[in-house]
Structure 1
Amino acid sequence: MKIKLGILAALLAGSFGAAGGPAGDCGLAQAEWKLGTHSRLEERDGKRLLVVEVPEKDRNGSYLSRAEIDLSPFRGLPTTFSMRVRIDGIEKEAGRKGIKFMVTYQAPSGAGIWHGGWGIYGPADWRSVSFLSPIDDYTGKAELVLGVEKNFGKVEFDLDSFRAENHFDLDQSSARAVYTDRVLKEKRLRGVMSPGGNMTEDDFRTLREWGANLVRFQMQRLYQDCTDLDAYGRWLKGRLDHFEKLTEIAPRYGIRLILDLHSAPGGRRSDSAELLMLHSEEYAQYFVRIWEEIARRFKGNPAVFAYDLVNEPYQTGAARFDYLELQKRAAEAIRRIDPEVPIIVEANQLAAPVAFRYFRLLELPNIVYQAHMYVPESFTHQNTPGSRYPGVISGIEWNKEQLRHTLEPVRRFQQRHRARIYIGEFSAKTWAPGAERYIADCISLFEEYGWDWSYHAFREARSWNVELEGTQEKTVPSADNPRKKALLEGLGKNLVTP
C-alpha cells in the first residue's frame, strides 16, 4: 500500500497531557548501597555511577546491587522509572539474561512485588532506559535493584539520572459510551485469534464445529521488518488481499471477523517494547493513513465486525504522540469514512488489565475497549518453570478469585462507562501445569461480566495450540486434551446463547 504523508503533524501532536503528578529520585541521592559482587561506586565527571563488570568466567551468576527508595508519593499511580546506562558487552544471545533495572517492595501478605524493564542488552553508548508500572496503593519503602544476571560485560548506571515520574492521569470520568443498534444488537462473540499466516476454508469449518463465531485476524510481521515503509506497505497489501478473501469465506460458517493490525509501522524498541510510531511523525502519519485506506476498502462489508487499531500498545512515559490519542486520531479518520463500524482500542502496557486504571473513554460512537489476560506471566508464559495454577506463584495464591482481582480495573471501567469490553487474547502455555483450569476460570469470569473474547491462538505457535499437548521439549498432536476441552466448553456457549 503506497501511503502519502499528509499534513497531520499538528493534529497528531496533541495528547491527553502529562498528568502533572509527582516526580523525583525517590530519595536515591541520600541512599546507601548494598553492593553485589563485581560492583563498585565511582565518581566521574561530577556524576555518581554504579559500575558492574562481570568477567566471562562468572557469566552464570546474578550480580545485583540494592538501595532503599521511597515510593509513597506514587501510591496508586502509574509510574515511569528511567535512568541512563552505558553498556560494553552484555549482548543478547540464547540462554543469556541481561541487565537488571528493577523496583521491588513487599505486599501486605509478605509477597515480594517486582517491577522491571524489558530486556536490556548491549553494546550501547549512553542512552536512557525506562519502564512503566502502576504502583500499589500501600507502597512506601522499596528498593531499586541494578545489576547483571547470567551474562558478562560491563554496564555503567548513571545514578544521578534516575527518575520516577507520573505521566498518566487515573480514570476519573463518568462519561458513558455510546453505541448504535449495530453494536447493541450484536450477539456475544466468542472465538479465537487467527494463525500468524494464511487461513483456509478448512480452518473456518473446524472453528464452526468448535462453536466459534469470531476470528481476530492478526496481520503480523517481525518488528524489525516494520521500519522500511515501502516494504511494510507491500506486506500490508498482501495481508489485506488475503483478509478480503476471508470476508467471503467466514459468513458461510457464521463467523465474524476483527481486523487486527498486529504489527504497527515502525515496530517497537527492543529494550522496552514501546511503539516507535509514538516518537516518529512519519510512522504516526502512516498509521492514520493505513486506517483511512482500510476503512474505504472494507466499508459496508458485512463480514467485518470491527477494526482493532493496534495490538498491545506500549508507552513508558512522555512521548511525541500519546498511545491513546494516536488511536483516537485513527478512529476519527475512520469515522469520517464509516460512521458506524465498531472500532477497538487497546489499553497501554500491552493491553494489560491494570492499565484500565488510567484508560480513557473516547467520545466517539461504537468504540470497544480491549484487554489481554496473561496474568501472572510467571505461570502463563512459564517464566518460572513448573509454576502451576491454582497455586502459590511468586508468593501469591493464584486462583479464580485472584484472577477476578486482576480483572477488577477492567470491570470498573465497564461499569463506570457502560462500555463494551473485549478480551482479545488470553492463554497459558501448552505445558503449563493447570493450563486447562486457568483457561476455564478466565472464560468463566468473561462470561460472568458479559465480555466478548478470543483465545490466543488457533493453529499458531505450539506454545498455545490446543490441538497439541506435551512438554516444552516435545509436543505432539492431540485431538482431545484438557486445554482443548476447556476452550470448547466456552465456545459451546455460542450454540446455546442467543
Structure 2
Amino acid sequence: MSFWDTPQRGANSFNRLPPTQAYFDALAATGATWVRLAYDKWPTDERDFLVGDSDGYDGLIAEDLDILVATLDRAHNAGLKVVIVPLSLPLMRWSQNNHGQFDDRLWEDHRNWREAAGFWRDLAQALRDHPAVAAYNLVNEPAPEREGGLPEHAPAAQASAWYAGERGRGRDLPAFYDKLVRAVREVDPHTPVMLDAGWYAAADGFGYWPGANRDARTLYSVHMYEPYQATSDPGMFKRELVPYPGLAPFADGQQQWDAQRVSGYLQGFTQWAAGVGVSPRRLVLGEFGCLRRWPGCPRYLEDVLATAEQAGLHWAFYAFREDAWDGMDYELGTQPVPWAYWKAAEAGDPDPITRQGSPLFEIIQRRLRAASP
C-alpha cells in the first residue's frame, strides 16, 4: 500500500496484443510509474481471455494466466507497477466482446455474484506474490444502475433514494464489492483493491454510497470524459463539434464546461471521500481523455490534469499506444493514422506505427516528467 502514499502518474493499456518489453520500456521512459492493464482483448483459444467463458466460470485458463504473468514480468523489468483490471467478469461480458450488447446479468440478482467472487479469489491467489502488482481493480466501469432505473448523473437525493430501494439486492454495488474484497482477502491479505464508481466510473458515481469499504487497503477510482458528447463520442465528427470551453450536453440539459466546471465536477468525488473519511491518497483518476482530433482536446487535457494535480489524485491517462483504436493515442497528434495501422489490426499483427510525439502528448508528458525522480 505504501506505493500509493505519494501521487502516482501513469497510463492505461487496453491493447489487443499483450504489450512487449519495448512497449513497457517506452512507457517507463515517459516518467510513468504505473499502468492500468486490461487483458480482455488479447487472443485466446477460449471464448473469453482468462475467464474461459463469462457465461459460466470454471477456473482460470492456465495458458492465458501464463501470458498474463509473462506480461507482468515485462512491466516489472521496466520498473512499472501494474493495476490489473478486467473488463469482463463471470455473467458480465464486456459489451465490445458481446456484439455491442450491454450484459446486465451480474446485476440482476445478488446470487449471480458468486462466480465473480470465485474468479477474483483464484486470480488473487495466482498473482498475490508478483512484484509488479500494485492493486486489483475489481472491474472496469461497472454500471448496475443502467438497467435499474437510475438516470446517469441523477441528482444526489434521487440517487440516494434509488439506492435505499436497492440495498441488499443485485444492483447494490457497495455490497457487491464487499463480497469480492472478502474473496480476495481469503487468499491475499496485502494487495490493495481498487474500486470504480458506478455508472461507468462516473465522478459522481460514489455519491449515493453511504460509506467507504471496510477494507483498509482500498483505493477509489473515477473516470473523466465529461461532457462525453463533446470530448469522446466517436460520432462527434458527423455533427457540429462542441467547443471547449463552451456549452455542452450533460445529463438532461446543456451546461457551460470550462476549467471551473471540470474542477467542480471532480470535486464531487473528493468531497464524497472526505465525508466518509477516505484520505486523498486513496483516490484515483483511473482514466481520462478526449478524442485527439477534437479541437478542444488540448485545453481540456490541461484542465483535467490541473484539477487532478491540485487535488493530489493518482492518475492514469487513456491510453498509451493503443493498437486497436487510435482515438486517444496522443503521440499521433491530430492526423489520421495510415492504412497500415488498420491493416495490422485486422490481421492480428503488431502495430507498425512509430510514434514521434506531438504537442498534444507533451501536455501529458510535462506532468509525467515533473513527477519523475
TM-score normalised to structure 1 length: 0.57
| Cα drift, residue 203 of structure 1 | 0.5
Distance in 2, Cα, partners of 1:228 & 1:184: 34
How do 1:146-161 and structure 2 match up within 5 A? Answer: none
| Cα drift, residue 354 of structure 1 | 1.3
1:324 aligned onto 2:174:
yes
Is residue 259–residue 308 contact of structure 1 (8 Å, CA) maintained in 2? yes
1:392 aligned onto 2:247:
yes
Distance in 1, Cα, partners of 2:300 & 2:59: 39
Q: Which residue of 1 aligns with 2:199?
A: 349
Q: Which residue of 2 aligns with 1:467?
A: 331
Structure 2: 5+ residue runs without aligned partners? 149-165, 339-352
Structure 1: 5+ residue runs without aligned partners? 1-181
Amino acid at match of 2:139: V
Q: Which residue of 1 aligns with 2:161?
A: none
Q: Which residue of 1 aligns with 2:267?
A: 408
How do 1:40-439 and structure 2 match up within 5 A? Answer: 182-183=1-2, 186-197=5-16, 198-221=18-41, 228-229=53-54, 237-266=62-91, 267=93, 273=102, 275-279=104-108, 283-316=112-145, 317=148, 318=166, 319-359=169-209, 360-382=211-233, 383-385=235-237, 386-394=241-249, 395-416=254-275, 417-419=277-279, 420-439=282-301
Residues 250-288 of structure 1 show CA distances to partners (whole Å, capped at 9, x for unaligned) of 233221000101122222688984642122567521110
Distance in 2, Cα, partners of 1:445 & 1:465: 21
Amino acid at match of 2:28: R
Q: Which residue of 1 aligns with 2:157?
A: none
Change over 3 Å in CA distance of 1:236–1:415 after alignment to 2: farther
Distance in 2, Cα, partners of 1:295 & 1:203: 25
| Cα drift, residue 323 of structure 1 | 2.3
Higher CA-based Rg: 1
The CA RMSD measured in Å over matched residues stands at: 2.7
Distance in 1, Cα, partners of 2:262 & 2:321: 26
Distance in 2, Cα, partners of 1:272 & 1:361: 31
Which secondary structure state, in structure 1, belongs to the residue aligned with residue 195 of structure 2?
Answer: strand
Residues 106-158 of structure 1 show CA distances to partners (whole Å, capped at 9, x for unaligned) of xxxxxxxxxxxxxxxxxxxxxxxxxxxxxxxxxxxxxxxxxxxxxxxxxxxxx
By percentage of residues, which structure has more helix?
2
Change over 3 Å in CA distance of 1:248–1:186 after alignment to 2: farther
Is residue 84–residue 135 contact of structure 2 (8 Å, CA) maintained in 1? yes
Which secondary structure state, in structure 2, belongs to the residue aligned with residue 355 of structure 1?
Answer: coil
TM-score normalised to structure 2 length: 0.75
Distance in 1, Cα, partners of 2:297 & 2:63: 35
Change over 3 Å in CA distance of 1:196–1:238 after alignment to 2: farther
Q: Determine which structure has greater relative contact order: mean sequence separation of CA pairs < 8 Å that are 6+ residues apart, divided by chain length.
A: 2
Residues 221-262 of structure 1 show CA distances to partners (whole Å, capped at 9, x for unaligned) of 59xx66944787688655432221133222332210001011
By percentage of residues, which structure has more strand?
1
Of 481, 484, 495, 2:358 maps to: 481
| Cα drift, residue 315 of structure 1 | 1.4
| Cα drift, residue 301 of structure 1 | 2.0
Change over 3 Å in CA distance of 1:335–1:351 after alignment to 2: same
Amino acid at match of 2:84: L
Is residue 243–residue 295 contact of structure 2 (8 Å, CA) maintained in 1? yes
